[in-house]
Structure formats: C-alpha cells, structure tokens
Amino acid sequence: MSYRQFFHEEIETLPKAQLQKMQLERLQAIVERAYTHNPFYRELYDEAGVKPSDIRYLEDIRKIPLLEKKTVRAAYPYGMALVKPGGAGGAVEVHATSGTTGKSVPVFATKKDIQYWADLNARELWMTGMRPGDILMNCYGYGMATGGFGFHYGAMAMDVMAIPMGSDARQYERMLDFIVDFGVTALCMTPSVGLYVGGKARERGINFAETKLKIGLFGAEPWPWETRLKLEELFGITAYDEFGMTEFLGPGMTCECYVRDGMHAWADAFLVECIDPETGEPVEEGQDGELVWTWLAADGTAMIRYRSRDLSRTWWEERCVCGRTHPKIAAIKGRSDDAVSIRGLIVFPSQVEAALVKFPETGANFRIIVDKRDGLDTFDLKVEVKEARLLTNVERVQQVSREMAEAVKAITGNSPKVELVAADTLPRVSGGEAKTASARVEDRRKQ
C-alpha cells in the first residue's frame, strides 16, 4: 500500500506568505489573550508600555519584552496558565521542566493542546518516513518531561504502535530484545542513550540488518554530525535530529525531513526568532544566535518570547526540497548555559563529543572537569573506553590519550589533560530533557 507524502499536507505545504499571515493573526490573538486574562503578562506588558494593539506586523513582536527563565520561574506554579485546571476547556495534563537549577517551569495542556501536540508529532514521525503499521520504540521519559508523551500521542494519531519503553538505559537488555522480538521499525531516544545502547548491542553481537529497524529520531541534547554517523553505523538506521522544549510541550516543535539540512520548525504553532544573546537584537537570517520561541497555537499556557539559551541559526526557504514550506533551524550547537569558558575560549560539550566519537576506543560517555590552579584554568577530560582491556596497556593509553587531546584541541583551541576510564563509571545523561550541562561538565571554579 502506498501512502501520501505528508501527514497534514495542507498546513505542511502552505505558502510562506500565508503561513506568515497566520502567524501574525495567532500572535495578535495570544498576546491579546495573555494581556486580558493573565495578570503576570498584564503587569509585564504594562511595565514595558506595550499593548496588544501595538502588534500590527510580525516584526512588532520585538516590542514585546523577552521572557527569561527566571522570570517565568517566579510565576510558578500557575502564573503562565491561561486556563484553570480541569473543567470544560480547562487543563487536563501538566508537564514541567526538571527544575535541576531552580523551580520547575510548568506547562498546562488542554484537550485542544493535546490534539495539536499529537498532530505536530505525527507530522514529524511521518516526515522521517514512518507510516501506519510501523512500530516505534519510545525511549524518552514518560514523566514530567514531555518527550515520552509527545511522541506517544503522535504515534497514536498516525496509527503507529508505540512501545512506551522509557529512558532508563539500564534496561538496555530489554530494549534490544524488543527491537528484535517485536519487529521494531523505529526508535527515539537521546543520542547519549543511543550510543550506550548501540554499544551494548554490538557487544551482544546483534546484527541490525536482520531486524526491521530502519529509522532513529534523536534529540533533547545537542549532538554533532559525527555522532549521527556513529549511531547510524551502530543501529543500521537513518538518524534524524529533532528538537523540542518542555516549556512548549516539545517534541513536536522541530524535526528534520529526509533532506537533513536543518530542522523544520512548525510555523503554524511556533514563531522562532534568533537574537544576539548579549544585546537581545535580532541577528541576520542564517547567522548564529540564541533561539527565542513564541507558542502561537497555545491554548492552556502563554509562552511569548521565551529565551531558550539554545544557540543555533534560523532561515526560511520558500519551499524545501521535501515540499514543506516551514522555516528551519540548524542543529543546536549548544546551550549558552553549557558553554564553558576555558582559558578565555568557549568550549561546548558537543565539540568535545565531535572530536572523541571518531576514535574507535571511545566508549559511551565523557566528562569535562574545569578547575583553577595557581590562577590558571585547568581542563581535564575523562573518557570512558569501550574495552577495559585497553586500560592495561600503558603505552596504548598514553598514545590514545595524546591523540584525543590533539583532536579536542583542533576543534576547541583548548588542549585537555585526557584520562581514560572504564565504561559505566561516569554520570550518564539519561534524557527526557537536556541535562547535558550537569552530566558532561563539572565546573569546580563555581563551587
């Protein structure tokens, strides 16, 4: 049976000018609603001297103050809500960020939101080649974070069977059994869980060419192209990048099409801007900056001009080769919170990963440890090795450590002191939402 090319053709291929018209109407409506029904926004906008009627063009969004995470946290618990819990038209589901660095940011979803969420996720699964009858093993967390539920609802909306595995990589045996025994055709997880589980599969000698697995969606943390190649090799799949934030019920915000040149950001649901993180001014299209998101289609929660701290680029083609007309963002380069300044140079964990993943000796995890000794920054890098055997060969350890240090220096400009350690000895990124900073970087200068 052959299927259509798009899950929701009309909206996915709507001409750019019409999408922008829709964006303006939705922006005006959500600003009006927030101002009228939400005391937090009314106070914020009154203070900034901006009224809903000031939004006459899309560019007028710049008149609206940017939302910092700490401002949104201060509105905890119900400050960003547009509806009451439960009741007709009320919130029926709540999710929240992990709150590892402060109070959680909650997001309230009405039935209308859940339906829209399902549609956005189904578009993404469809876009990566999944079709009704496929089996998706969902290895995102089914909890307060949104990864699990988002793809789950998406799978249901497009008649794909979802296996709600969850994100705990310790159950890798079960994950691998299910892929083989149930004929799983697609999986989604964080890249770091993927590297771990894929490595275990290799140890077990699983030949994925003999399974039905063909598609992998990876996201929730920045990952370089080199990791994609590794994941494709480990699982015998085509790997796609997707990105979303809990604050917006992500996933379902952005995903790659088969062209894999940037992720489409659904313009009917979200408006994405790219700003200079220092000045808050927009950067030129295609230039690096910080992503700022506005949730245009929101029903239960108002998120207007929220600073993500994610560094990327945006651009908007009239029509992608795939036929879709929605704007694109580049793979997330890192979070401005993650970026660690060492000896005056900015280092991202994703850059270090890009350097390490090329080595066959590299295991599933690494950790950057920065400290200060005698007034100078130190840069230590612990790298898990794939095979414990290597650690007994002093000469090889020295050689591999030196080569890794050189590879990291070539990308970041900073030369680390590399220490090879046994597998499973470093804290792991388990997914659900980006925890990259805490798991991969330990900045002892801040303690």
Query: Contact residues for Zn ion (CB under 5 A)?
Result: 257, 259, 320, 322, 324
88 C-beta neighbours (distance < 10 Å), count: 8
In angstroms, give the least distance from the CB of 47 to Zn ion: 41
Both structure tokens of 376? 């100078």
Compare residues 26 and 123 and give the one whose CB is closer to Zn ion: 123
Nearer to Zn ion, 41 or 240 (CB): 240
Dig out the tokens for 277 from the structure: 């993180």
Cβ proximity to Zn ion, 128 vs 167, nearer residue:
128
Shortest reach from residue 258's CB to Zn ion, in Å: 7
Closer residue to Zn ion, CB minimum distance, 47 or 318: 318
Alpha helices in 249-294, H assignment, sequence order: none
Cα–Cα distance, 249 to 272 (Å, whole number): 15
Whose Cβ is closer to Zn ion: residue 259's or residue 388's? Answer: 259
Shortest distance (Å) from residue 317 CB to Zn ion: 8
- Which residue, 217 or 383, is less far from Zn ion as judged by CB? 217
- The distance of closest approach from Cβ of residue 191 to Zn ion in the complex, given in angstroms and rounded to an integer, is 21
> Residue 161, exposed/middle/buried by CB under 10 A (0-12, 13-18, 19+)?
middle
Rounded CA separation 127/113 (Å): 21
Interatomic CA distance for residues 351 and 362, integer angstroms:
15
Q: How far is the CB of 127 from Zn ion (least distance, A)?
A: 8
Rounded least distance, CB 315 to Zn ion, Å:
12
Q: 230 or 324, CB closer to Zn ion?
A: 324
Which one, of 382, 350, 352, lies nearest residue 367 by Cα? 382
Q: How far is the CB of 262 from Zn ion (least distance, A)?
A: 8
Residue 97, SS3?
A: coil
The residue among 229 and 259 lying less far from Zn ion, judged by its C-beta, is 259
Inter-axis angle of helices 191-204 and 172-182, nearest 10: 70
Shortest spacing between CB 5 and Zn ion, in angstroms: 11
How many Å apart are CA 143 and CA 157, to the nearest integer? 20
- The residues with which 255 forms a beta bridge, in sequence order, are 242, 264
Main-chain phi, psi angles of 237, to 5 degrees: -125, 175
Write down how long the chain is.
447
Cα–Cα distance, 53 to 32 (Å, whole number) = 8
Helix (H), strand (E) at residue 114: helix 111-127
